Amino acid sequence: MRAAEALRRLGERRPLVHHITNYVSVGLVANATLCTGALPVMAHAREEVAEMSGAAGALVLNIGTLDERQVESMLAAGKSANERGIPVILDPVGAGATRMRTLAAERLLSELEVSAVCGNAGEIATLAGLSAEVRGVESIGGDAGAAAREAAASLGVTVAATGPVDHVCGGGRALAVENGHPLLGRVVGSGCASTAVIGCFAAAAGSADPETVAHALAYFGCAGEEAARTSGGPGTFEGRLLDALAAFAADPSVLSGQLRVSDVG
């Protein structure tokens, strides 16, 4: 689904997007979800996650500050989402940086039907079995296009590898997204926020197919471009990024001609 249609549906239906996420960027993630037009809810307790996912239009799993109990909650929520057939999006934050994170991402991918995996080049390369350097939660170098292609082939799901150019692969398609701005890399959690926006678009489309994922990233990237025009640095950029997401969501026609999604398959 293309961005304009996804944003229009979000504004009409206001689906719930259930996040089980890290406590570093959680505020940005929730606000990005709300600005995009969906209703965010963060709930992690084993006792309620299945019920919460049962009311949601999409589930977003982000392992940025993982611990063992959180993995159990992610599995319970994911199974509830799978039973209802709603999209499950995984952001494997820090996969490749520690054994625990790599194994957790692999376990989620193995025990759940994940619809899309979205991470930086290093995280995606790790899951594809390629060599990668992940320093903490940052990718050091790496070829995002190759990582996305390999991971999509080996995992059999839509895969987005973000970077200066975002690459989205799956189902035989390969798309490149050239929207964005270097300041996005200077704000903690901007990757998490872009995954949250993918969750919103997937809730609108009922699917996380490559076009839907690429358009979510293009919309997010356009907001980054707009925010960069008026911000004085990474600190003031964050608020303006949210303003831009909300402005584009309120009037998607503004995006016309700005989205730079191309088929590179």
Q: Does 31 bind its own copies (CB under 8 A)?
A: yes
Binding mask 162-191 for its own copies (x = CB under 8 A): ------------------------xxxx--
Q: Smallest distance, Å, CB 217 to its own copies?
A: 19
Q: How far apart are CA 118 and CA 237, in angstroms?
A: 23
- Strand-pairing partners, residue 138, are 135
Cβ distance to its own copies smaller for residue 77 or 261: 77
Sequence-ordered alpha helix ranges (H) in 171-233: 190-205, 210-230
Helices (H) and strands (E) in the chain — how many of each?
10, 11
Q: Does 264 bind its own copies (CB under 8 A)?
A: no
List 12, 239, 253, 262, residue binding its own copies (CB under 8 A):
239
Q: CB–CB of 8/249 below 8 Å?
A: no
State the DSSP H helix or E strand holding residue 177, giving kind and residue range, or none if neither. Answer: strand 173-177
169 is in an annotated binding site: no
Total residues contacting its own copies (rule CB under 8 A)?
A: 64
Q: Does 75 bind its own copies (CB under 8 A)?
A: no
Q: Does 251 bind its own copies (CB under 8 A)?
A: no
189 is in an annotated binding site: yes
118 is in an annotated binding site: yes
**Alpha-carbon Rg of the chain, whole angstroms?**
16
Q: Which stretch binds its own copies (CB under 8 A): 97-105, 113-121, 148-156, 196-204?
A: 97-105
Q: Smallest distance, Å, CB 167 to its own copies?
A: 23
Q: Does 107 bind its own copies (CB under 8 A)?
A: no
**Cα–Cα–Cα angle for 221, 222, 227, nearest 5°?**
95
- Rounded to the nearest 5 percent, the helix, strand and coil shares of the chain are 50, 20, 30
Q: CB–CB of 141/228 below 8 Å?
A: no
Contact positions toward its own copies, by CB under 8 A? 14, 16, 18, 22-28, 30-31, 34-35, 39-48, 51-52, 55-56, 64-68, 94, 97-101, 135-138, 186-189, 231-247
